[in-house]
Amino acid sequence: MLNIVLFGPPGAGKGTQSEKIIEKYHLTHLSTGDLFRKHLGEGTDLGKLARKYMDEGRLVPDEVVIGMVEDKINSTADTNGFIFDGFPRTVAQAEALDAMMTKNNLRISGMIALDVAEEILKERIRERGKTSGRADDQDEAKIATRIKVYLDETLPVAAYYEKQGKFTKINGVGSIEGIFDNISKVMDGYSS
């Protein structure tokens, strides 16, 4: 089983590359942003709670995110593995994920980080905002908050995996296919 953490700031291309990874490696996509947006659309209590954080570009509290991820892992049977997209976003979430993996006799194969300069990120998010319908993609202050939250709270997660010898950084600027080729090379080096 391959269990991958796809890492990077908002706008790095995690969603786009996840789709290609799933197609090739038949993994289960676990995007916490997508799960929250689904709850939001369905008007669940979880969605209502998450909305106030998402609307401001802040992180939803760890215990809420961790509970939702645990539910998704426990309700997924017969998978080749997971691709975690947008999770973990704090060191506490990374620790909780390791604990969940251990409990299920699984392990994280590695973290692949997409590296993109801040100005390019902002440009990409603004472009995405024209069609995504996401309020958090359409407001300069919200975009800036999300990048700041990434730098302050999420970046330490990279060091967490680096310490475990599980971190690889890839250039996230270039053609979608070229970036995917580099991701594939890293993934093919993981032992399942």
Which one of 20, 126, 128, 169 is the catalytic residue? 128
Q: Which two tokens stand for residue 116?
A: 């993109």
* Number of residues that this document lists for the chain: 192
97, 91 in Cβ contact below 8 A? no
Q: Which amino acid is at 2?
A: L
79-118 footprint of ligand AMP as x/- string (CB under 6 A): -------xx-x---x-------------------------
How far apart are the C-alpha atoms of 126 and 137, rounded to whole Å?
6
Is 14 known to sit in a ligand binding site?
yes
Task: Please tell me whether residue 60 binds ligand AMP under the rule CB under 6 A.
Answer: yes
Ordered strands of the 167-171 beta sheet:
28-31, 82-85, 4-7, 110-115, 167-171
Is 58 known to sit in a ligand binding site?
yes
Is 88 known to sit in a ligand binding site?
yes
- The reply to whether 126 belongs to the active site is no
- CA angle at 109 for the pair 106 and 115, rounded to the nearest 5°: 140
Task: Please tell me whether residue 65 binds ligand AMP under the rule CB under 6 A.
Answer: yes
Which one of 51, 134, 166, 169 is the catalytic residue? 134
| Of residues 131-190, those binding ligand AMP (CB under 6 A) | 136, 146
**Would you please indicate which residues are annotated as catalytic (active-site) residues?**
14, 89, 128, 134, 146
Question: Site residues (CB under 6 A) for ligand AMP?
Answer: 10, 32-33, 36, 53-54, 57-60, 65, 86-87, 89, 93, 136, 146
